[in-house]
Amino acid sequence: MSDIRIGQNTEVTLHFALHLENGDTVDSTFDKAPAVFKVGDGNLLPGFEAAIFGFKAGDKRSVTVIPENAFGQPNPQNVQIMPRSQFQDMELSEGLLVIFNDAANTELPGVVKAFDDAQVTVDFNHPLAGKTLNFEVEILDVKAV
């Protein structure tokens, strides 16, 4: 096992479980292949990446990432009210994930928050915006790159 610590110019192999404050598990790699990333490659939340700096292979820890260092706070401007006519062929329900395409044809997921016969309220905030994230991590390997 290496004594290299997580920092710039390292590649990290780890298992993680992501839990919300209420204990719900959002994601976990413990029952599948571990995650592998290079520090600074943009694949991890900056707050999570910063929290594991200094860890080494064999470390098992819990880290907490506040919303401002994760997905931020919900932005009220990301909640849109749209005409029901844009959803004519859909059976709507609260919590339904709907995919829209912007002008550049990029997919934008939104969640139906409310609807009636005239309009539909869609929230385009990240589902984890405003949430404190609790990570359980096990560092499997750290390599210099």
Q: In whole angstroms, what is the distance from residue 7 CA to residue 111 CA? A: 37
Three-state DSSP class for residue 66: coil
Whole-prediction pTM value? Answer: 0.81
For domain 76-123, say whether CATH 3.30.70.20 is its number: no
Q: Pick from 127, 76, 132: which is nearest to 97 by CA?
A: 127
Mean per-residue pLDDT of the chain:
95
The domain spans of the chain are 10-70+130-144, 76-123
Domain 10-70+130-144, what fold? Chitinase A; domain 3 (3.10.50)
Asked whether residue 1 carries a pLDDT value surpassing 70, the answer given is no
Q: Work out the average pLDDT over 122-144.
A: 97
